[in-house]
Amino acid sequence: MPAQVDPPLALLAELTHRCPLACPYCSNPVNLERAAGELSEQDWRRVLAEAAALGVLQVHFSGGEPMARRDLLGLIGEANGLSLYSNLITSGTLGGTREIEAFAAAGLKHVQLSFQDFAADNGDRIAGLPGAHDRKTRFAAAVRAAGLPLTLNMVVHRQNLDGVPDMIEMALELGARRIEIAHVQYYAWAFTNRAALLPTRRQLDQATEAVEAARARLKGVLTIDYVVPDYHGVRPKSCMSGWGRQFINIMPSGIAVPCHAAETLPGIAFPSVRTNSLSDIWYESDAFNRFRGTDWMAEPCRSCDRREIDWGGCRCQAFLLTGDAGRTDPVCTLSPDHGVVAAAVQEAEGLPPEFIYRSYGFLPSKAGEASAKRTEGS
């Protein structure tokens, strides 16, 4: 454990896993939490107060679809009262003008709205929800009418990546000041669907070129945050800016994790806010100290001059691809395990298989069966 641990900057509040959408790359775990297992409003209010006292500056209300929680308005107000800068990460498919105006009045500072594509038909197909795109478009207008800043969140992959220039145009038309064009990250549902989502190198290079041209053209008008698929990279992403360095993520059940996929790591008892204070969780828990700093690292990370830039890459990816969360992220070309990533990139040159949509009660061992009978999420 490093000598000095700084206070966290941000809290990701995953209020629920319920969601009208069924996106096949959802970052929620494959084993989704049901409504009965969610934290209560009182629990969340206490967590927000503890977070503010701990030094958290920003709170991101996320899910699932956070607007599926009837107490969201109260939680936004609570966060605002605690001087927490609040952000709503939403699909924009539940509610509209009335809700957004109330959120703005309660002190919400920003809305990040997801779209699955610029084209309604492909967007609805990816979301697994007919009419979703049109609802999102109306929601965007409601956000702007309420005077809130809007970010469009475009999750990109091989089945929509060619539309990047149109996505940027859509952001301008909807009055967004910022667009996040973020490639799917291969965990949970996205890992299950990796062969259907990983783009070819050629596709990726074209999209990157389009982003760079738009950035130059739209300087000061539209900020474009761009996240490339790390499988195509050379060095790993600095996942969560390092384990337990800036972020606390609370899952719907109250389990606290350093990133949203960390619960998949075996042999770590992740603490719950039902039984532990946030301060204990951040500073004292084995889970948050496990991969903090650089002491845990093996070679090639240990002696690498990027060890405090990449922080070893992603622990969940290391586990997912090598079975050992303590190894170097195999995305790094210096990793002895890099061959597994190279093989996946090679596989992307072939034809994509069908999507397996997000649903409750999905068993990875019965992938074929689950894709045949979709169940509704909420």
Does residue 55 interact with another protein by CB under 8 A?
A: yes
One residue of 1, 41, 166, 177 binding another protein per CB under 8 A:
177
Does residue 165 interact with another protein by CB under 8 A?
A: no
For residue 212, count other CB atoms closer than 10 A to its CB: 12
Q: Which stretch binds another protein (CB under 8 A): 50-58, 90-98, 302-310, 365-373?
A: 50-58
Does residue 178 interact with another protein by CB under 8 A?
A: yes
Q: State which H helix or E strand residue 205 sits in.
A: helix 201-217
One residue of 85, 283, 296, 360 binding another protein per CB under 8 A:
85
Does residue 192 interact with another protein by CB under 8 A?
A: no
Does residue 149 interact with another protein by CB under 8 A?
A: yes
One residue of 16, 28, 87, 335 binding another protein per CB under 8 A:
87
Rounded CA-CA distance 253/256 in Å is 9
Integer CA distances (angstroms), 350 to 188, 198, 210, 335, 353, in order: 22, 10, 24, 25, 9
Which residues ranging from 200 to 259 are in contact with another protein (CB under 8 A)? 219-221, 223
Does residue 350 interact with another protein by CB under 8 A?
A: no
Could you identify the residue written with the tokens 């509040």? 13
Does residue 131 interact with another protein by CB under 8 A?
A: no
- Reported residue count of the chain is 378
Partners of 248 in beta bridges: 11
Does residue 58 interact with another protein by CB under 8 A?
A: yes
Q: Please give, one letter per residue, the 3-state secondary structure of 237-257.
A: CCHHHCCCCCEEEECCCCEEE
Closer residue to another protein (CB): 4 or 275? 4
Does residue 110 interact with another protein by CB under 8 A?
A: yes
Closer residue to another protein (CB): 147 or 266? 147
Partners of 111 in beta bridges: 88, 150
| Nearest CA-CA partner of 78 in 111, 56, 108 | 108
| Nearest CA-CA partner of 127 in 28, 20, 29 | 20
Closer residue to another protein (CB): 58 or 114? 58
Contact residues for 368 (Cβ-Cβ < 8 A; gap 6+): none
Closer residue to another protein (CB): 176 or 316? 176
Integer CA distances (angstroms), 237 to 240, 265, 330, 343, 355, in order: 9, 18, 11, 19, 26
Q: State which H helix or E strand residue 13 sits in.
A: strand 10-14
Q: Which stretch binds another protein (CB under 8 A): 117-125, 143-151, 231-239, 301-309?
A: 143-151
Q: How far is the CB of 223 from another protein (least distance, A)?
A: 6
Does residue 368 interact with another protein by CB under 8 A?
A: no
Rounded CA-CA distance 120/117 in Å is 7
Q: Which stretch binds another protein (CB under 8 A): 32-40, 82-90, 134-142, 273-281?
A: 82-90
Q: How far is the CB of 265 from another protein (least distance, A)?
A: 26
* HSE-up (13 A, CA, CB side) for residue 273: 30
Q: Which stretch binds another protein (CB under 8 A): 57-65, 194-202, 298-306, 310-318?
A: 57-65
Q: Which stretch binds another protein (CB under 8 A): 24-32, 141-149, 297-305, 362-370?
A: 141-149
Binding site for another protein (CB under 8 A): 7, 9-10, 55, 57-58, 60, 83, 85, 87, 109-110, 112, 147-149, 151, 172, 177-178, 219-221, 223
